[in-house]
Amino acid sequence: MSAIEIPEGSLFGLDNLPYGVFAARGGPPRAGVRVADSVIDLAAALRDEVFAAPKLNPFMAEGPARWAAARARITELITAGDVPAGAVHPLRDVELRLPFEVADYVDFYASEHHASNLGRLFRPNAEPLTPNWKHLPVGYHGRAGTVVVSGTDIIRPTGQRKGPDDPVPVFGPSIRLDIEAELGFVIGAGSALGTPVPASGFADHVFGAVLVNDWSARDLQAWEYIPLGPHLGKSFATSISPWVVPLAALQAARVPLPGQDPPPLPYLRETEDWGLDIDLAVEWNGEVVSRPPYKSMYWSPAQMLAHMTVNGASTRTGDLFASGTISGPDRAQRGAFIELTWGGTEPVTVKGEPRAFLHDGDTVTITATAPGAGRARIGFGEVTATIFPARP
């Protein structure tokens, strides 16, 4: 048996216990829980084969009662110092994998500050927010097959762009490669075709949350996105953090939304608060350039799920829906570089250099913390990646 030491101030104490998929040296990928700087092999510790799968999907599909039972049992084992010694791996000795197989991926656009900023930048002659924006959480489907785990190299995408002064489109590597700092929500227990999930059903279906970096080639996106929305400008890669923070760990982070005016239609009304007081930080080559506050988001994830299914669309285990870029009211709270640098016209200083969009070799790391038990905080770990040159 092994006692896992949890240092004072650890972001991965008993009030967190996020799930991931790890491979220990030479071993197959399987489910684990992070505690302090250790990973507990759940198949070994709980003697349950559902955790021996190479993805969290089978466990996530079991639903909230099983999630609660597993969390209670893990807590009990750690507290009692009863985790079998062979089930504990130092974090530094394991490889972290994509934690779940992504079924469908939907990306929302739920920050009023972000949507207003992008409206001003993309459509300078129109109202910043489209007429529908305060009536429904605008969102669209992204590419599930190119969701990758933190640490995966990002190859600069190639494609078409056409600036206002180009007579014809130009083909080549993107010259306006950007990030979007987001939070993503993962469906555990799916819902049937024809059966909407009400806002009150959020916790019956959603397993947990991850950090998302929705890489965006702004030049490709600007040329392609009218009339059917973003495609190639986004589909080359979306990075997620390796740890899925369960909803149970986010109870202390729940706060009311900042306020919705006009009041949304009844199917979108919140029955419980699912605003979330989560603080993100965006590091560009190791320097923090932005601190997006999730609590400033206009639409809650419960509203996103209610909207996504109100037409009868089913959900499946592994569906990922992300918030869209998180931007607060202040400049230093903007979660995308196009906003932070106002379309590149107001560069930020990174390691002493003025910078707007991403260069090859740049590394971006997004981290987040939230209130935990008492005065403690919990962490989401990080989603990080480095940009590699476009392939010739």
Does 316 contact a copy of itself by CB under 8 A? yes
Site for a copy of itself, residues 76 to 105, rule: CB under 8 A: 103-105
**Element containing residue 320 per DSSP (H, E):** strand 320-322
Cα–Cα dist 309/202, whole Å:
11
Please give the order of strands across the beta sheet that includes 38-41.
88-90, 38-41, 30-35, 19-24, 94-97
205 is an active site residue: no
Site for a copy of itself, residues 372 to 391, rule: CB under 8 A: 391
Site for a copy of itself, residues 245 to 264, rule: CB under 8 A: 262
**Considering only 6-14, 203-211, 226-234, 374-382, which stretch makes contact with a copy of itself by CB under 8 A?**
226-234
Does 122 contact a copy of itself by CB under 8 A? yes
Q: Would you say 125 or 311 has its CB closer to a copy of itself?
A: 311
The binder of a copy of itself chosen from 132, 165, 351, 375 (CB under 8 A): 132
| End-to-end Cα distance, the chain | 54
Long-range contacts of 49-57 (CB under 8 A, 24+ apart): 54/21, 54/28, 54/29, 54/30, 54/97, 55/21, 55/29, 55/98, 55/99, 55/100, 55/101, 55/318, 56/19, 56/20, 56/21, 56/31, 56/99, 56/100, 56/207, 56/244, 57/100, 57/101, 57/317, 57/318
The binder of a copy of itself chosen from 34, 89, 114, 307 (CB under 8 A): 307
Q: Would you say 28 or 131 has its CB closer to a copy of itself?
A: 131
Closest approach, Cβ 177 to a copy of itself, in A, equals 11
Closest approach, Cβ 236 to a copy of itself, in A, equals 4
How many residues of this chain bind a copy of itself (CB under 8 A)? Answer: 67
Alpha carbon 291 to its chain's center: 15
Site for a copy of itself, residues 135 to 154, rule: CB under 8 A: 135-136, 138-146, 148
Going from the C-alpha of 33 to that of each of 4, 128, 166, 201, 243, the distances in angstroms are 12, 43, 52, 26, 8
Does 167 contact a copy of itself by CB under 8 A? no
Footprint of a copy of itself (CB under 8 A): 103-106, 109, 119, 122-123, 130-132, 135-136, 138-146, 148, 155, 157-160, 162, 168-169, 171, 193-196, 217, 220, 223-233, 235-237, 262, 265-267, 307-308, 310-316, 319, 391
The catalytic residues are 114
